Chains A and B, each alone.
Chain A
Amino acid sequence: MDDSQARKFQKDLNAGLVALVLLAVLDRSPEDLYGYEIAKRLQRVNQGEALFKEGTIYPVLRTLAAGGLLTSRVVPSYSGPPRRYYRITDEGRSLLAQWSGIWRQTRDFVDRFIEGTDS
């Protein structure tokens, strides 16, 4: 119905989830990834309407790195500015495990009401 309300709801949901997804992507990846690569991986999975704009993951990556959850290194590139490659740290892994637990719990809780399996 109201498109702007739907967008606002999505944005509120994304506030914490983007960080969780980024940690998970980097945890799964055997090699270091840079911003553009991560964005493309998310886009591939997320066919159709994007859940969040790729431009919004860069500031989150930076925040995670500043918090010690990711490490990064800069590698020169021919196609543009030097790329910053990210890798998850041990601290990031343990946080990811914790957050994943919280996410599953939240999802099951919400589903129980939405699917009506509780009543």
Chain B
Amino acid sequence: MSAHAARSIDDYLRQLRTALEGQDPALIQDALYDAEEYLRAEVAAHPEKSEADVLELIASTYGVPEEVAAAYRDTEAKVKAALKTPVPAAAAGASGWKRFFGVYLDPRAYTSVFYMLLALATGILYFTIVVTGLSLSFGFAILIIGIPFFLAFIGITRVIALGEGRLLEAVTGERMPRRPVHPGPPAGWLKRIGEMLTDVRTWTTLLYMLLMLPLGIVYFTLTVTGLAIGLAFTAAPFLVLARWLGWDADATVFSDDVHIGGFALSEHSMISALILGILGVLIVTLLMHAARGIGRGHAHLAKALLVVPGA
């Protein structure tokens, strides 16, 4: 039993948050969202009673915060175990080579590469939205449309934050919120704006969206460069082989001699081409490892900036 029964919805949500302390922040956000849906519906269903009177009965219907928290913990543990992508067998084995090339069996490595390529596009989009939104908000601040514009702008950033979280969970498997943060009961516009301005998450979300442009550029460049060099090197021995077998690259596909690794294709011996090929495979494999690591790191960054810390 909690120290004292909750007297208001905010009070109850605070107790539930305390009961969920230490859990995944995304799970906390979901649990608070569900509770708020129920509690507000319950209060709305009894207009003749005060919020405190309704809350008094909550312990026997919805449950005390500790009970509800336990239900989420149990269910989450079961679901997590069931949905967890099995670790590829190669990763578990001790052999270094197996572990090195085992990355090709990990679906997260591919999705991370995809995310890094996409990051440039989303980065540009986010950056543009934030810069446009902020400058227009300042500009409109002296006009009557300033306030609704600012509210809409922050609302859009929250939707984007949720979408980015869902994308990252799909890509990296890091648990992210499945529900938006509820803005609370209907309140005056000035009060809402005050809440938004004092909410740390508003600013960290904007920071994340700004950061996405430089990060997106780095991710994209790294991926495209790595893939281009790695795949070209990997192709070298095959091209030399094809040339031996009588394929005239100069005349058919390319207008000039093919250059790989600083040499024209015609100057490559099979040995040097093979060395390039091995190097190429190493580069691509390293890129896959890097992508997986970056994806994981980026998910943690996103979680720190986009999700309310569970405190």
A contact residues vs B (CB 8 Å cutoff): 34-36, 39, 43, 50, 53-56, 58-60, 62-63, 66, 77, 79-81, 83-84
Contact = CB atoms under 8 A, between A and B. Distances in A.
A119 B78 CA distance: 39
Given A53-B62, A56-B63, A63-B78, A79 B41 contact: yes
A81 B61 contact: no
A63 B79 CA distance: 7
8 contacts: A50-B60, A53-B71, A58-B71, A63-B79, A77-B41, A79-B40, A80-B36, A81-B33
Contacts, number: 81
B193 to A, nearest CB: 20
B38 interface: yes
B47 to A, nearest CB: 10
Given A54-B62, A55-B62, A81 B182 contact: yes
Interface residues of B, number: 32
The SS class assigned to the B binding surface is helix
A53 B68 contact: yes
Interface of B: 30-31, 33-44, 60-63, 67-68, 71-72, 74-76, 78-79, 83, 178-179, 182, 185
B75 A55 contact: no
A59 B35 CA distance: 11
B75 A81 contact: no
The secondary-structure label for the interface of chain A is helix
B38 A35 contact: yes
Nearest to A57: B71
Contacts of B76: 59
A63 B178 CA distance: 12
B16 to A, nearest CB: 9
Contacts of A36: 37-38, 41-42
A77 B45 CA distance: 13
A40 to B, nearest CB: 8
A48 to B, nearest CB: 11
A80 B41 contact: yes
Nearest to B69: A55
Given A54-B38, A54-B63, A79-B43, 7 more contacts: A34-B37, A36-B37, A36-B41, A50-B61, A59-B72, A81-B33, A83-B37
Given A66-B83, A80-B36, A81-B182, A43 B71 contact: no
Nearest to B27: A59
Contacts of B67: 53, 55-56
Contacts of B178: 62
Contact of A35 (B37, B61, B63, B83): B37
B167 to A, nearest CB: 17
A81 B42 contact: no
Contacts of B78: 63
A76 B71 CA distance: 26
Contacts of B38: 35-36, 39, 54-55, 58
Contacts of A56: 63, 67-68, 71
